[in-house]
Structure 1
């Protein structure tokens, strides 16, 4: 199924992106100063959004394929594949569960980067009269 190939490729891209982000964090910790500018924050936020949507789309496509494999679609003459390949379908199900976990973690990571980005745009804490 091409949806499973798409899922594997999307997870590989997400893993590579996470590795690059991890290395960026390590380098910034070793240097001792965290240089966090607005353009960098926008780039991180945009990358996190792209990866989150990519993994969500891949999981959705693979889940749809898994449902068709499990239940079939008699109207379209698609048979139940999992009746013939039970062990393979179990492994696909386990992979889908872990991919859902990856996808949810990317959504949380995207929320964290959104918070970090929009924190840079925080307004001044007081008004012109000096009151909060």
Structure 2
């Protein structure tokens, strides 16, 4: 996190002292919209995170080469293992946050103070960077598997394991959406955190979320 931004998906306009301040009915409307948006993002991440992990984790294909059976599986490529683990962590983390969001919406009086805001903000940042790194690593490996690398004598693996590569591609696409949603959540949690330091801190010092 730098002085000009706050991480993945967080623009330069979201920082302490530069967050719009709302009061009264406007504050309630903004709170409700933010809570609903957060809930939607986290539900999408839960669903697609599990889908990405399942698509890649269960992907196998057997190929017979000169009477020898060769089985392709995701554990053969460490980047795919990293992607499965990262999406599993993201889905589990957002599932816990979904429970908090649901309770917050139903009760409407869950305490949302600065320490809790910092915890959520930090957690979203870590998961956002984790999913981004996993997608980048998997995408790079997928390019080599698809196109090969003649200089290094790396074969085009996807010419032999077409079904395997297609399912991996679907998993990477789902993981990419997870990463983008986590970037949006990083911005949202930054907004929730930094508005606690705005001009309304005196009127909203109780931190009701």
The TM-score with structure 2 as length reference comes to: 0.57
Partner of 1:43: 119
Residues 57-72 of structure 1 correspond to what in structure 2 (within 5 A)?
57-72=133-148
Structure 1: state its 5+ residue gaps: 125-132
Q: Which has the higher strand share?
A: 2
Q: Distance in 1 between matches of 2:148 and 2:190?
A: 40
Partner of 2:188: 112
Secondary structure of the residue aligned to 2:159 is coil
Question: In the alignment, which of 84, 88, 96 is matched to residue 20 of structure 1?
Answer: 96
Structure 2: state its 5+ residue gaps: 1-76, 201-209
The CA deviation at 1:31 is: 4.1
Q: Which has the higher helix share?
A: 1
Q: Distance in 2 between matches of 1:32 and 1:75?
A: 61
The TM-score with structure 1 as length reference comes to: 0.89
What count of residue pairs does the alignment treat as equivalent?
125
Q: Distance in 1 between matches of 2:150 and 2:183?
A: 36
Partner of 2:152: 76
Q: Distance in 1 between matches of 2:177 and 2:104?
A: 28
The CA deviation at 1:76 is: 1.3
Kept in 1, the 8 Å contact 2:103–2:110? The answer is no
Following TM superposition, the consecutive aligned residue runs of length 4 or more in structure 1 with deviations greater than 4 angstroms are none
Question: In the alignment, which of 88, 109, 128 is matched to residue 52 of structure 1?
Answer: 128
RMSD over aligned CA atoms reads 1.5
Is 1:85 matched with 2:161? yes
* 1:48-103 CA distance string (max 9 Å, x none): 00000000000000000000000111111111100000111111111111111110
